[in-house]
Chains A and B, each alone.
Chain A
Amino acid sequence: DAGVTQSPTHLIKTRGQQVTLRCSPISGHKSVSWYQQVLGQGPQFIFQYYEKEERGRGNFPDRFSARQFPNYSSELNVNALLLGDSALYLCASSYQAGIPDTQYFGPGTRLTVL
């Protein structure tokens, strides 16, 4: 079975631009979470989606938004990019949300903002 997939692998943008990152969960998983990982730090929680609804949100500005589609894949959008948005963006999937459950991570998208 395929694991969590993310696209693109790498992305270079300039300040002020907008970016869309994509994630496909493990087959059968209904929950997708997004994380931002800056070099040398642990992943920071951005969003969790379950059954197309937002179930959790971290401390990120409104420039960050996400959605989940009927096939449980998800997109993360970041508007008005700042230099500080440069990071590895990780997507994780789990079977469900709201109860203790293992999350499996994708390989990430490396975003560089110039």
Chain B
Amino acid sequence: EDKVVQSPLSLVVHEGDTVTLNCSYEVTNFRSLLWYKQEKKAPTFLFMLTSSGIEKKSGRLSSILDKKELFSILNITATQTGDSAVYLCAVVYNFNKFYFGSGTKLNVKP
């Protein structure tokens, strides 16, 4: 059965900490993996990963994909209270199917 599992489910850290969010997947015909940040309503796009071992970076956020071990990580360094959100991982597979994980809820305390 196809699945996408994110861990941890929730995380509480203090400003300045570094966090690592995990996304593992088991799908047929994998095509890409996307990370989103959801604060109130619309998820906002962070990264799209299609190739193993190539790090995508944007400011304090970075992500990498391991297609052999079937997982991706999202790193956030020097966290800020504005990073508090639910982080969603989505896998695109079987040509046009999208499967989202349940998300990791990150709470950054001042």
A90 at the binding interface (Cβ < 8 Å): yes
* A78-100 residues at the B interface, CB under 8 angstroms: 88, 90, 97-100
In the bound complex, what is the Cα–Cα distance between A105 and B27 (angstroms)?
23
Contacts of B99 in A (CB 8 A): 45
In the bound complex, what is the Cα–Cα distance between A10 and B40 (angstroms)?
14
For A8-49 the 0/1 string (1 means CB < 8 A from B) is 000000000000000000000000010100001111110010
In the bound complex, what is the Cα–Cα distance between A57 and B36 (angstroms)?
21
Q: Are B97 and A58 in contact (CB under 8 A)?
A: yes
Contacts of B41 in A (CB 8 A): 88, 107-108
User: Min CB distance, B57 to chain A, in Å?
Assistant: 16
A103 at the binding interface (Cβ < 8 Å): yes
Given contacts A100-B31, A100-B48, A100-B50, contact A42 B101 (CB under 8 A): yes
Contacts of B100 in A (CB 8 A): 35, 42-45
- What is the predominant secondary structure among interface residues of chain A facing chain B? loop
Interface band, chain A: 20 to 34
**Which residue in chain B gives the minimum CB-CB distance to A44?**
B100
In the bound complex, what is the Cα–Cα distance between A33 and B6 (angstroms)?
22
Given contacts A90-B42, A105-B42, A108-B41, contact A48 B96 (CB under 8 A): yes
Contacts of A106 in B (CB 8 A): 42
Q: Are B88 and A42 in contact (CB under 8 A)?
A: yes
Please report A residues at the B interface, Cβ cutoff 8 Å. Answer: 4, 33, 35, 40-45, 48, 55-56, 58, 88, 90, 97-108
Please report B residues at the A interface, Cβ cutoff 8 Å. Answer: 4, 6, 31-32, 34, 36, 41-45, 48, 50, 88, 90, 92, 95-103
